Amino acid sequence: MSINKTYAVFGLGRYGTAVARGLTDMGADVLIVDINEAAVNSAAMTFPYCKCADVTDPEVIKQLGIANIDTVIIAMADNLEASVMAVVLCKEAGVGQVIVKCANEMHAKIMRRVGADRVVLPESESGTRLAKSLLSSGFIDMIDLNEDVSLVDIGVKPEWVGKTLIELNLRKKYSINVIAIRKGASINIDVDPTAQLTDDMKLIVIANAAALKRLKA
């Protein structure tokens, strides 16, 4: 369950920064781009991949290698024209998923029309939550219990098959607590730590962000 997808965030406002921080904290590779040099210089102290560039320029999109990025998050809701151009250029470059932060429903409608795969309205989805939802793709399901702790369904890793929870000692190795095991439609909360795991099982665990990062490593 390694994080093998790449991400780019356009815009270093509060929302874009929150998304970038959430993705980076979970171990993802994130390219951050903003036209404001001061903002980029400041962000470079925290994020390893920052570029000062105009993402409405086709040549810039090419030079940044955006065609090789799996998901681009466009967080420039205060500049409708720039958001539109960025969406069009990213889709033309072949980006598989383009997500756009929108200021309102009309903005969202426009973004969908020009090719955005997903739109988000900050009042209903925080940047941190967006980052978590993007990175939960390696898990079956994830429910936030608070800002740091989540209830997660995870598949049994190939190297876990045939071993018991006692042998794996997941609590010590990953700092996760297995509270139930799902097999098909059946959920067993009376977990037997001596039973061998099979590849058709799903473990329901409670874990914090650091633990989820280790699980995806």
DSSP codes joined into one string, 50-107: EEE--TT-HHHHHHTTGGG-SEEEE--TT-HHHHHHHHHHHHHHT-SEEEEE-SSHHH
Last residue of a domain, which of 135, 157, 183? 135
Together in a domain, 25 and 125: yes
Q: Residue 212 has what pLDDT? A: 73
Together in a domain, 166 and 62: no
Please give the model's pTM, rounded to 2 decimal places. Answer: 0.62
Cα 33 to chain centroid distance, Å, stands at 17
Together in a domain, 88 and 143: no
- Domain at 126, CATH number: 3.40.50.720
- Domain at 195, CATH number: 3.30.70.1450
pLDDT band per the 50, 70, 90 thresholds, residue 152: confident
Together in a domain, 126 and 158: no
Lowest-confidence range among 1-5, 21-25, 49-53?
A: 1-5
Give a yes or no: residue 13 inside a domain.
yes
Alpha carbons 210 and 133: distance in angstroms, whole number: 15
Number of domains in the chain: 2
The 10s digit of each residue's pLDDT in 57-113 is: 999 999 999 999 999 999 998 888 899 999 999 999 999 999 999 988 888 888 988
Last residue of a domain, which of 108, 135, 162? 135
Q: Residue 38 has what pLDDT? A: 94
Give a yes or no: residue 122 inside a domain.
yes
Together in a domain, 66 and 81: yes
Give a yes or no: residue 157 inside a domain.
yes
More confident residue, 128 or 78: 78
Mean pLDDT, the chain, rounded, equals 84
Residue 52 sits in which domain range?
Answer: 6-135
SS3 119: strand
Together in a domain, 121 and 179: no
pLDDT band per the 50, 70, 90 thresholds, residue 145: low
Q: Is the pLDDT of residue 122 over 80?
A: no
Q: Residue 131 has what pLDDT? A: 63
More confident residue, 184 or 18: 18
Q: Residue 147 has what pLDDT? A: 59
The 10s digit of each residue's pLDDT in 27-57 is: 788 999 999 999 999 999 999 999 999 999 9
Q: Degrees (nearest 5) of the Cα angle 86, 89, 95?
A: 100
Q: Residue 71 has what pLDDT? A: 94
